[in-house]
A and B are shown apart, each in its own frame.
Chain A
């Protein structure tokens, strides 16, 4: 009984201590508020950002349009990464020809940090949403592809043989056997990919797009609005976590294999 109660509180301990220490440092002036705003000030800015009326201040009420824009960019980029990475990954896991074709290029590109793609992307796609979506898609592709390949590779060949003898032909076999058989790896890849999408969204919104959660953080940096930087970080963390949960729920809803954690 006692242990169960304590167990539930444990995850909240570190954040709570952190906020406590921060509040203490700000209130006592240990760290001046122009370097690190008081948590209450941050809470106030956050409130205005999310629930304020547009026009009240530079960031008032912008949350919905920023979140909507960012969600759209993440959605498009992630979708593109999955559309390319999932089938290629599964093919690469099953056909050594595909694997050999892709392996060197994929691993070389994977080593290149995303920020170095930004200037090139601007040359190719110009300013605007396309560059952002490209960066997000590029970053999310790798975990989706690599995990799909690993998942497809470890699918028990007996299942495919069983499927063949039961009359399940090639393409149906992919959806009926290969994908469910690889599902736990595929899920991992998708979740990692979505997480990376949010990370690269901020990079992609550095320049060329008019709004978005990453843009807010970058602009706040230029204006020295540390409170808004923290608000932006918290908002992205929350939305990112929610999107991860939605992804898991969605996959579990659509696929028995995801539901049953095969």
Chain B
């Protein structure tokens, strides 16, 4: 009697687990993940540059981890990622590959306008908002150490979500933050912030920021799809670079005022190109991450970055 019940329960459990297994993607619909920001906007234009049969569905996320999980679970064919997150994933052994750049620059270190902080060294003893484990945390730590400040001893790093940093700065909960556009420009426009510096250090990490990620399995099973996606990405990027009005107009549909986007635009660089210099900068980033203890061991960069697709990309 009881064994029958146990067996039935086991069957139910097994079936439920099977349902968790990744579902096969539909043939003609391609799913791409990205953020809703001006610097990560290209996927919204892929469909225009895809062959007629294929539809591209774009899913928006607020952080790189969620879209990567969706990618690995098979719900996405490609997603955006920060390079720090890509390196972190790869160092954990996750089968991800960066196949194109997404954007460069697009970050800034912001302090309160008219406040006592005039240079980076003035941040000593101050509270700085950050999100643990993000690219911007790494850039922040890099900025601080370059100016002789220990991120753990000389300043108070305060855990605040990116969306809340502006409010926290305005109200005095924090004295500075480093994050991506449009938050820095928003802070300036609303009158409580000013930009202290940009975290672009050409000899090491440079201005690299984000890229497009696919699963290694996808490259093996369906290289044609990956190439088609990268082609669409390259074309979309070039198109938006030459049509800034349309770019910003579409970006403003995410909710930020067009006026602010126009002010932020000079700090944003849409990108697709990846070359050896790009990978070198990524290595520098990975080194930093290991020094900080964010990753235990560096990944195999030759496996993490696949330059072949952008190399073959039709313009």
Which B residues are CB-close (under 8 A) to A13?
6, 9
Judging by beta carbons under 8 Å apart, are B21 and A31 in contact? yes
Judging by beta carbons under 8 Å apart, are A34 and B173 in contact? no
Contact mask for chain A residues 17-54; partner B; CB cutoff 8 A; 1 contact, 0 none: 11011100100001110111000000000000000000
Interface size range on A against B: 20 to 34
> Is A166's CB within 8 Å of the partner chain B?
no
Chain B stretch 119-156: residues in CB contact (< 8 A) with chain A: 129, 131-134
Judging by beta carbons under 8 Å apart, are A126 and B10 in contact? no
- Tell me the smallest distance from the CB of B91 to a CB of chain A, in Å: 11
Residue of B17, B68, B72, B171 near A30 (CB, 8 A) is B17
> Is A140's CB within 8 Å of the partner chain B?
no
Judging by beta carbons under 8 Å apart, are A122 and B6 in contact? no
- Tell me the smallest distance from the CB of A52 to a CB of chain B, in Å: 14
Judging by beta carbons under 8 Å apart, are A122 and B164 in contact? yes
Interface residues on chain B, number (Cβ under 8 Å): 42
Which A residues are CB-close (under 8 A) to B191?
none
Judging by beta carbons under 8 Å apart, are A210 and B158 in contact? yes
* Residue of A6, A126, A207 with highest tally of chain B CB at under 10 A: A207
Distance in angstroms between the alpha carbons of A206 and B161 in the assembled complex = 8
> Is A123's CB within 8 Å of the partner chain B?
yes
Residue of B6, B14, B88, B160 near A207 (CB, 8 A) is B160
Judging by beta carbons under 8 Å apart, are B173 and A208 in contact? yes
Judging by beta carbons under 8 Å apart, are A210 and B159 in contact? yes
Which A residues are CB-close (under 8 A) to B6?
13, 17
Q: Which residue of A lies closest to B157 (CB)?
A: A210
Distance in angstroms between the alpha carbons of A6 and B2 in the assembled complex = 9
Which B residues are CB-close (under 8 A) to A25?
17
Judging by beta carbons under 8 Å apart, are A222 and B132 in contact? yes
Judging by beta carbons under 8 Å apart, are B72 and A215 in contact? no
Distance in angstroms between the alpha carbons of A208 and B9 in the assembled complex = 43
8 A-B residue pairs with Cβ-Cβ distance under 8 Å, sorted by A, are A13-B9, A30-B21, A34-B95, A127-B158, A215-B159, A221-B66, A224-B68, A224-B85
4 closest A-B pairs by beta carbon, nearest first, are: A207-B161, A127-B173, A223-B133, A126-B173
